[in-house]
Structure 1
Amino acid sequence: MIGVVCAEDNNVTENATNEDFQAIQILIDNANPGDSIYLENKTYQGSGSPIIVNKSVNVYGVDSSKTILDASNKSSIFLISKDVKVNFNGLTLTNGYNETKGGAIYNLGILNITNSKISSNYAESGAIRNEGTGKLTISNSLFDKNCGSFGAAIDNYVGYLNIVDTTFTNNDCLEGGAIYNRFGEFLVYNCTFINNSAARGGGVYNNRGGMYIYNSRFIANNVYDLGGGIKSWGSCEVYNTVLINNTAKQGGGIYVSEFTLIAENCFVENNSAHWGGGIAVEAKATAKIKNATIINNLADRGAGIDINMGSIDLQDSIVNNNVAKYGAGGIYFALLSSTVKNTYICNNIANTSGGGCYIYGFRGVVVNFTNVIINNNSASKGGAIYSTGTANIQNSILNSNNAYKGGAIYNELNLTVKDSQFFENTADSWGGAIYNNLNSFIDNVVLNSNEVKQFGGAIYNEKLVNAKNSLFESNKALQAGAIYSTNDLIIDNSQFIKNYVKRNYCVLMLSKGDVNITNSLFKFNTNADEGGCIFNYNANLLIDASQFISNDARSYGAAIDNSGNLTIKNSLFYKNKAYGAAAIDNSGNLVIIKSNFTDNVATNNGGAIDSNGKLIIIGSIFKNNLAGNNGGALILRGDTTVTHSIIYNNHDKNGYAIFNKGVENISLSNNWWGSNNPDFEKLLNMGTSDDFNWIIMSFSSNNQLIQYKNSILNINFDNVKDKMGNVYKINSTELLPIFKIALSNYGEVTISNGFKSMNKNIPLITSISA
């Protein structure tokens, strides 16, 4: 029996026993606005015409499993007119058919559907077509096995759609496996989309409308083109939603183009696609993603996220364990600038480039990383990041990444890294932490315990690296534990400590280019065959205000092995050890200005320097250096000039400070040898020229030095004495090093430019030594 309850008196006014749609139509036609129609526990069959609802009524079934309206694929089931309010509850609407609009329902009014099932309906525009003036609200319902061209379950065309606590399963469509929204606004709350399929938008397709999804689940939906779970070509906001096991050609979980995607607190797992296994952002779209977990997704490119000619603002998220067949295991960036903040990018894999991230430099793309941890990613090039664009990294950690080249980063264009750490990254060939192919700027960065099987434990440089205020420590390589450079290199105020090689060159290998090193420290670097700190093959190298302390080499040059052009200024070489050439092994062109070589030790020749090339030394100090064989300070095999320098207390096995291996062009004038009358037969293994001279010390006072009173004391190292006993002023005193003298009962005095005048209350002076 069918009953109608009047809105006015709640009395049953009409009964019908027919089991077809016509009986329901009669009751609706006879009902007053606001009346409720109660359907029985039975199946109502359609005869080819839909039920027209042109007034506000309520239609209730016993239960969706018991009250069934079956159109037998002959027509749609309900046509709802505009300006009416209709409620459906406890119904199953099945086997509806319409070639165009709404296999089950075509709605222009205000329709609420609760506790119902809509299944096996077909129309070009879905089981339900909600159009124009239509306002559709659905709750606690099921859409199953509906088919169509636009929105197998619902086609929302410029309407308003609100869906709560509803499940969509096994729906199949060309556009929008479950829902297709065109120019409308719709809200999805606490809904589930499972095993729906389409060409685009397996769960939902938003076409230039507004879409808002909360607390929902998209599981195992499938498309052969765009958006396995969600496709949006309009404004899209997704909150607290799970997308799992969805598949697509692009955007396994979510695909968005041209418009903005906002996604917060979402979980994107085990989705797959050719591009963008988890999320794809394309065609100048912008994605704002926060507190997301993007994990275990698969793709040919951009397994976690693929930003193809779009942009992203990614914050407080995790991109983990995604795998790309080719490039960008975690995230792919192209065209527009993007930002990544407070995010973990971990355990991602790419078989070619960019295990964590791939930045494609089309039209100058810039990606800014801040407070990001990029950990344990792997690829052939750039375990953490592969970039042909501009990458800016700040306050970040890149560790335990691996690649064939560029364990952490492979840079093809512009790289800036500030206030960050690289540690325990590894590479098989070049660049344990960074492979640089164009421009890299590094500021206040720690590179620690990175390792490569071949060249450049921390960095391999092809073009230009500018590193300042940075620490390179405990990096390892076959050659060049810290940096292997084939082109220009700038290093300022940086430290290179405890770097290690298995053989050959320890800290820096410089094959060519212009190289400047200033204000830097090289200390405790070990195990090199030659060039314990620097091996300069053919670069133009300038070192200024730097220190080389306690480094060692198994063969030659614990600090530097030079066969290029090398200039050293204002630098210190202290306690370095090698088999030969304890500080520097030179076979190129070497100029040393105002530098200090102290306490260096060679087992064989050259306590400080073994020079087989051209050597010029100006204003420098060689003190307490030791050679087990020849040349306590220097062994000379090429043309040499040493002038305005201090050579003091250096020894080889025969006591020589300088040992000449048969070189004719050697000039050793204008130097201080530790006393006014040095014994050159004990200091040099060679004779001296007729014009040979040496610096002598002199002093004078206006008072006797034994009196306690203000005195003017003049101390001079600006005179030279020749072999004939002539004394005369030395030229260019500004080239002299700093002299330090000890006044008994007074202390140490430093002297610049070879002269110092003191006006002091001087106590008893019994000796002056320099």
Structure 2
Amino acid sequence: MKSNKFIILLICLILLSLGSCYATSNNTDIISSDGTDDLSIQSNINTNEKSNNEYIFIDEDSTYPKIDTDKYDTTYEENDNIETSQASIQNVNEQKILYVDANTGSDENNGDESNPYKTLQKAVTSIENNSIINMKNGEYILDQQIVISKSLTINGENNQQTIINCNNNVGFNITNTKLTFDNLKFINANQNDDASYPGVIMARSNVILLINNCIFSDNIGRMGSVLFSNGKENKINITNSQFYDNIATQRAGVLHIGGKDSIGHISNCSFKNNKVNTTDVTGNKGCGGAIYLGSSNLTLKDCDFINNSAVNGSCIYTSTSSTINISNSNFVNNTANNKNTLNNASRGGAITLGSGGGIITNTTFINNTATFAGAISINSGNITNITDCTFINNYAGNHGGAIHSFGQTTIKNSIFENNSAVRRGGAVIGVGTDDMIIIENCQFINNYLNKTYLNGKFYSLGGALSGHGQSSNWTIKNNLFINNSAAFGGVMFCTNDIDFIDFVNNTYINNSAMSGGVIMFNTSDLGVHINNDVFNHNIAQLGGAISFNQSHLTVAIHDTVFTNNIAENGGAIFIPEYQHLSVENVTFTENTAKEKGGALFINNSTFLRLFKSIIYKNKANLGSAIYYNNINSTERNFVEIRSSKIYDNIGNYSIYSTTNNTVTAKYNWWGSNHGNITANNNVDATCPMVLLFTQWSKVWNNNQSMDFVINIKLCNKTSSNECGIFDSVYYLPSQNFTVITYYANETKIQTYEIYKSEVITIPAHVIKVTLKFDNEEITYQPGDPRQSYIRLTATQNPTNKSQYIIQAEVVDGRSQNIEEGKFIFKINGVSQGTASSIKDANLTLNVTNTGNYSHTYLITFVYGGTSHYTECRQNMTITIEGAKSANTKSQESTYWNDTNNTVYVTERSEC
């Protein structure tokens, strides 16, 4: 019990002693420990309405002032009576306060509040460690540099009227100290000789420097007109301060923060009209119009940078191994420019990042200018993340209107508007080798390149984006691109062997170029994936949306829409060289080519597979859907259009090919059962899809309900080859069709998706059912016969090679055998008799060895139909060619070799 009472007494004595260590200036509460512990300031100053009552801590790990227990040597003796207990507290230093008044003070005074010193130099030399100097309003002209190696707080009365005039010298040289400047104005530092770096403050090693609510103007230094900090593990914390009209003659227009493991924190500050004034750009000279960061880390938030300039990084330059975190800041009207340097190679209209990378969040860049990178230049192998930022009206005289990246860069949730450059990348350019660039959830609006005419040709590449990094990879996802323009690639231009680009869920509207209204690929061996994108009303001379300008690209386009794009050739896509292109579930609607290829223009050998897509209402003079000109027939050619909808295209031929046997357009839907298959003779457009009612029930019940399925079926209507019978419902693109069911007193309209194979139950009292799909309308009435189909097979008799067995099979739409009805076999038009049972639909054909000459047999099978099934006819041609006959066959024919002859079998349906 006695011990507890004594401890309570001891604590009270300690607190009483500490009370004398606190001092209050006019507007700031200062809390300080000794020369080695953390220092904090509680500021009540409201500057630019950004920070009120904010605690600022030099050590981020500290949240409260710490008491250094080593300062206190405490001993006590425990007695029976607490009144006789003894405690001694030794070595407790009081925090001393001195006062300075430039107007009424004298250095002969003692420095107390009633008798202030006249000069700051006198106060600094007189005061003890861990003390406070309060300065009255007035101008304090330094006659020499002030050296500080003790922990001090220097407070001004008013930052507009408490002025420290450095008198054309370095103001302060500090080392091994914790130093706080608060509520002061610093002017006229000027040190530009080769022996000295800074203007106002030289911070050497083991320095903790806190600057709050201060103004620095009209200072000059070789490196850092305000601060040169290059000591190891220095800590710099600057808040609520203004820096304007300061000049550095080599680098760091205002602040030079360097030194290994040094840390800087800058918040709620303004940097205006500062600059680095030099034409020498060797050795990192000319860098950092406001801040130069060397081998250290900086956190910067809530700051404004206006009208600053340098050759590299008009506001901020970070060198090797430095990292920076910028948030909630503004960069406006800054310029990186030096007309006296070779090719005017200035970089970073606002920021230049070194190899350490950085994080930039919720920051605005407006009207910044450089030769490369109007706003941000990234020269880093590490990752740079840019999130929730806005880039408006930035300009690059060469590449990268907003961002020039030579590193790993991720840009998310940001806006790029009205940025421009002269040659490449109106908004963003990536030039790094083996780098990854990710652009996600961003908007690119009205970015452009000046259509520069250079060396006899236009040279502006990528109105918004430009990719030039060898072996680099890009991901462009969930972005909006509107009204971007360039000579080549209105949105993006790609060259220099980029490895892979992934475009996902982007929208492109009203972009324009001479070639590639949205994207131009000018590189070989590139992999491209375009998925779920929308290209709407983009314009170019070649490729209203996309243009390929070099060979050997592997491109996959899936689930994408091209609509209302316009070009001279290739309304949507222009392909002039060999490419490997896969197009699936893509819609081309109302694209226009004034000359050729309303949707696609293909101008050389290409591997193209277009599958499950829609080509609708496109327009061109020749090849209103697709134009193919194989000018190099020695190369491999493969163009296949299959399982797609091609209809209502306007112009001469929907599909046009200049050479034979190069384009296959089989198994497509042409808009109606009797649609105009407008392909020229060099295109194989056989086996079109036909819309049919196909019943599932095998037994006809006139007086009962029945089930049937509505499908798109392939029917052998125009081809001389075997097309086969199968449901194309799983191959056509997803579309809707309308079913109208007529009853005695009402009409029911239903819509179905075409590939879900809907089964509809039709009640007995239904009058009729109408199916509408595109330009086709067919009607089914109860009692109508179902469609029948014939399969013919020819087999050589293995024991008698002069005989061929012809077998017929009649099936319904579900490939179920039909067992009712009669048939007739004919050979060369001569009836072989009528069979009463369809189960016995076989014919034996005896042929004669023709020797050197060919002989042809026309086999005809006619199914007469019934009240339940339609009539159908199937032809088969068997050709026995002799040794002297030309050994030529249709690709679709069935054939085999006889002893001395070659046998070909072809079929033609008339169902």
Same fold (TM over 0.5): yes
Aligned pairs (5 A) from 1:730-745: 741=863, 743-745=865-867
Tell me by how many angstroms 1:279 deviates.
Answer: 1.3
Aligned pairs (5 A) from 1:595-674: 598=717, 617-619=720-722
2:569 alignment partner, SS class: coil
Provide closer, same or farther for how the CA distance between residues 33 and 205 of structure 1 changes in structure 2, counting only shifts above 3 A. Answer: closer
Contact 2:184 2:214 in 1 (8 A): no
Tell me if 1:139 matches 2:139: no
Contact 1:532 1:551 in 2 (8 A): no
Contact 1:21 1:46 in 2 (8 A): no
Mapped to 2, the partners of 1:418 and 1:569 lie a distance apart of: 30
Aligned pairs (5 A) from 1:409-488: 409-413=519-523, 414-437=526-549, 438=551, 439-462=553-576, 463-464=578-579, 465-478=581-594, 479-486=596-603, 487-488=605-606
Alignment partner, residue 31 of structure 1: 127
Tell me if 1:245 matches 2:318: no
- Of 165, 173, 182, the residue aligned with 1:70 is 165
Alignment partner, residue 187 of structure 2: 94
Cα distance per residue 1:660-691 (max 9 Å; x no partner): xxxxxxxxxx99xxx9799xxxxxxxxxxxxx
Alignment partner, residue 440 of structure 2: 341
Tell me by how many angstroms 1:469 deviates.
Answer: 2.3
Mapped to 2, the partners of 1:454 and 1:574 lie a distance apart of: 35
Contact 1:525 1:551 in 2 (8 A): no
Provide closer, same or farther for how the CA distance between residues 139 and 391 of structure 1 changes in structure 2, counting only shifts above 3 A. Answer: same
Mapped to 2, the partners of 1:595 and 1:277 lie a distance apart of: 59
Provide closer, same or farther for how the CA distance between residues 154 and 25 of structure 1 changes in structure 2, counting only shifts above 3 A. Answer: closer
- Of 521, 525, 543, the residue aligned with 2:648 is 525
1:745 alignment partner, SS class: coil
Contact 1:442 1:470 in 2 (8 A): no
Tell me by how many angstroms 1:145 deviates.
Answer: 1.6
Tell me by how many angstroms 1:508 deviates.
Answer: 0.8
Provide closer, same or farther for how the CA distance between residues 467 and 180 of structure 1 changes in structure 2, counting only shifts above 3 A. Answer: same
Contact 1:695 1:717 in 2 (8 A): no
Mapped to 2, the partners of 1:230 and 1:128 lie a distance apart of: 19
Mapped to 2, the partners of 1:551 and 1:748 lie a distance apart of: 17
Cα distance per residue 1:451-492 (max 9 Å; x no partner): 334100111012213212222122111221011001304123
1:391 alignment partner, SS class: strand
Alignment partner, residue 235 of structure 1: 323
Tell me if 1:407 matches 2:517: yes
Provide closer, same or farther for how the CA distance between residues 66 and 240 of structure 1 changes in structure 2, counting only shifts above 3 A. Answer: closer
Mapped to 1, the partners of 2:124 and 2:403 lie a distance apart of: 53
Contact 1:417 1:445 in 2 (8 A): no
Tell me if 1:560 matches 2:647: no
Provide closer, same or farther for how the CA distance between residues 520 and 356 of structure 1 changes in structure 2, counting only shifts above 3 A. Answer: farther
Q: Mean alpha-carbon deviation: is it higher for 448-457 or for 256-265?
A: 448-457
TM, length-normalised to structure 1? 0.70
Counterpart residue type for residue 167 of structure 2: S
Q: Mean alpha-carbon deviation: is it higher for 447-456 or for 239-248?
A: 447-456
Provide closer, same or farther for how the CA distance between residues 539 and 417 of structure 1 changes in structure 2, counting only shifts above 3 A. Answer: farther
Tell me by how many angstroms 1:156 deviates.
Answer: 1.9
Alignment partner, residue 354 of structure 1: 462
Contact 2:163 2:187 in 1 (8 A): yes
Alignment partner, residue 475 of structure 2: 368
2:444 alignment partner, SS class: strand
Mapped to 1, the partners of 2:194 and 2:305 lie a distance apart of: 26
1:743 alignment partner, SS class: coil
Counterpart residue type for residue 165 of structure 1: N
Provide closer, same or farther for how the CA distance between residues 348 and 165 of structure 1 changes in structure 2, counting only shifts above 3 A. Answer: same
Provide closer, same or farther for how the CA distance between residues 740 and 243 of structure 1 changes in structure 2, counting only shifts above 3 A. Answer: farther
Alignment partner, residue 547 of structure 1: 669
Cα distance per residue 1:403-424 (max 9 Å; x no partner): 1111111012325233323332
Tell me by how many angstroms 1:161 deviates.
Answer: 0.7
1:76 alignment partner, SS class: coil
Counterpart residue type for residue 251 of structure 2: E
Tell me by how many angstroms 1:314 deviates.
Answer: 1.0
Alignment partner, residue 578 of structure 1: none
2:295 alignment partner, SS class: strand
Mapped to 1, the partners of 2:363 and 2:294 lie a distance apart of: 22
Alignment partner, residue 505 of structure 2: 395
Provide closer, same or farther for how the CA distance between residues 16 and 460 of structure 1 changes in structure 2, counting only shifts above 3 A. Answer: closer
Mapped to 1, the partners of 2:438 and 2:24 lie a distance apart of: 61
1:355 alignment partner, SS class: coil
Tell me by how many angstroms 1:498 deviates.
Answer: 2.4
Tell me if 1:82 matches 2:139: no
Contact 2:824 2:863 in 1 (8 A): no
Provide closer, same or farther for how the CA distance between residues 450 and 717 of structure 1 changes in structure 2, counting only shifts above 3 A. Answer: farther
Mapped to 2, the partners of 1:551 and 1:170 lie a distance apart of: 79
Tell me if 1:191 matches 2:307: no
Alignment partner, residue 839 of structure 2: 713
Counterpart residue type for residue 511 of structure 1: N
Provide closer, same or farther for how the CA distance between residues 510 and 130 of structure 1 changes in structure 2, counting only shifts above 3 A. Answer: same
Aligned-residue CA RMSD (Å): 4.2
Contact 1:304 1:329 in 2 (8 A): yes
Mapped to 1, the partners of 2:461 and 2:304 lie a distance apart of: 32
More strand by share: 1
Alignment partner, residue 611 of structure 1: none
Cα distance per residue 1:219-258 (max 9 Å; x no partner): 11111x2112221222111111111111112111221121
Tell me by how many angstroms 1:368 deviates.
Answer: 1.1
Cα distance per residue 1:150-170 (max 9 Å; x no partner): 111212213211111111111
Tell me if 1:180 matches 2:297: no
Tell me by how many angstroms 1:344 deviates.
Answer: 1.6
Mapped to 1, the partners of 2:539 and 2:240 lie a distance apart of: 51
Q: How many residues align?
A: 609
Q: Mean alpha-carbon deviation: is it higher for 166-175 or for 533-542?
A: 533-542
Provide closer, same or farther for how the CA distance between residues 695 and 66 of structure 1 changes in structure 2, counting only shifts above 3 A. Answer: farther
Alignment partner, residue 386 of structure 1: 493
Contact 2:100 2:123 in 1 (8 A): no
Cα distance per residue 1:585-613 (max 9 Å; x no partner): xxxxxxxxx99675xxxxxxxxx7xxxxx
Q: Mean alpha-carbon deviation: is it higher for 214-223 or for 494-503?
A: 494-503
Alignment partner, residue 649 of structure 1: none
Alignment partner, residue 757 of structure 1: none
1:405 alignment partner, SS class: coil
Mapped to 1, the partners of 2:200 and 2:96 lie a distance apart of: 35
Mapped to 2, the partners of 1:38 and 1:357 lie a distance apart of: 56
Provide closer, same or farther for how the CA distance between residues 294 and 36 of structure 1 changes in structure 2, counting only shifts above 3 A. Answer: closer
Mapped to 2, the partners of 1:229 and 1:204 lie a distance apart of: 6
Unaligned residue ranges in structure 1 (runs of 5+): 103-122, 576-593, 599-607, 609-615, 622-644, 647-669, 679-691, 703-711, 723-728, 755-768
Unaligned residue ranges in structure 2 (runs of 5+): 1-22, 26-92, 109-115, 277-285, 337-345, 452-459, 631-635, 693-712, 725-788, 791-806, 809-822, 849-854, 877-909
Tell me by how many angstroms 1:505 deviates.
Answer: 2.1
Mapped to 1, the partners of 2:265 and 2:831 lie a distance apart of: 94
Tell me by how many angstroms 1:572 deviates.
Answer: 4.2
Provide closer, same or farther for how the CA distance between residues 71 and 316 of structure 1 changes in structure 2, counting only shifts above 3 A. Answer: closer
TM, length-normalised to structure 2? 0.60
Contact 2:394 2:418 in 1 (8 A): yes
Alignment partner, residue 43 of structure 1: 139
Alignment partner, residue 583 of structure 1: none
1:503 alignment partner, SS class: strand
- Of 503, 510, 516, the residue aligned with 2:628 is 510
Cα distance per residue 1:336-378 (max 9 Å; x no partner): 2211111222221123111121111x42221111222222211
